[in-house]
Amino acid sequence: MLSYSSPAWYRGNPGVLELENGQLKFVTRSGLVNRKDYVTQSIPLKAIKSMNVQRANKILGMVQKPILVVVVDTTEMSGIPRHEFQVDTPEPWITAIQSGMASQSAETTHSSQPTIVKEVVREIVKYPCPYCNALIEVTSSKCPFCGAPQKK
């Protein structure tokens, strides 16, 4: 499977944007004593509905990085539908995500085998008990409701 990563910002936090195993992940490193990596956001590729790029703006003389906007289908993934990642070059990300989505859909079409289910239909015949009129199965030797022996 395709693997891709680069430094990025998500909701004002620095980290690494990764694409691997059918997931788009944003990983941050935090901790004062033991620094560990934490997955802040994980988006399955099958949940991505659309992607686009917002160009850089100048704010107080500083140029911001362009923004990769990923819109997800909320029926596939709960939570917020719009995710914005600041990356240096968002165009290669769009290409990598699209090729990952294409390879994932190709894998599902090749790996999906038709499921064969053998269904057995069995009829259960019931008749009324001659003593209490409760419905009982023909195979019963006595009525489960009144306990009366049944004639065969």
Q: What is the pLDDT of residue 74?
A: 85
pTM of the predicted structure, to 2 decimals = 0.62
Q: Is 96 exposed, middle or buried (0-12, 13-18, 19+ CB in 10 A)?
A: middle
Q: What would the two tokens of residue 73 be?
A: 């289908």
Q: Which residue in this structure is represented by tokens 């001659």?
A: 130
Domain covering 4-111: architecture:
Roll (2.30)
With 60 as the cut, is the pLDDT of residue 93 above it?
A: yes
Q: What is the pLDDT of residue 119?
A: 67
4-10 vs 126-128, strand pairing mode: unpaired
Q: What is the pLDDT of residue 25?
A: 93
With 70 as the cut, is the pLDDT of residue 57 above it?
A: no
Q: ∠ CA(74), CA(79), CA(81), 5° rounding? A: 55
The rounded distance, in Å, linking the Cα atoms of 6 and 17 is 6
- Report yes or no: 138 and 146 within 8 Å, Cβ to Cβ: no
Q: Where in the chain is the domain with CATH 2.30.29.30?
A: 4-111
With 70 as the cut, is the pLDDT of residue 84 above it?
A: yes
Q: Count CA within 13 A, CB hemisphere, residue 103.
A: 14
The rounded distance, in Å, linking the Cα atoms of 7 and 131 is 81
With 90 as the cut, is the pLDDT of residue 1 above it?
A: no
User: Quick one: average pLDDT of 48-76?
Assistant: 80
Average pLDDT over the chain, rounded to an integer: 83
- Report yes or no: 47 and 73 within 8 Å, Cβ to Cβ: yes
Secondary structure (3-state) at 50: strand
The rounded distance, in Å, linking the Cα atoms of 136 and 129 is 7
Give the least confident one: 64-68, 77-81, 121-125, 136-140.
Answer: 121-125
With 80 as the cut, is the pLDDT of residue 63 above it?
A: no
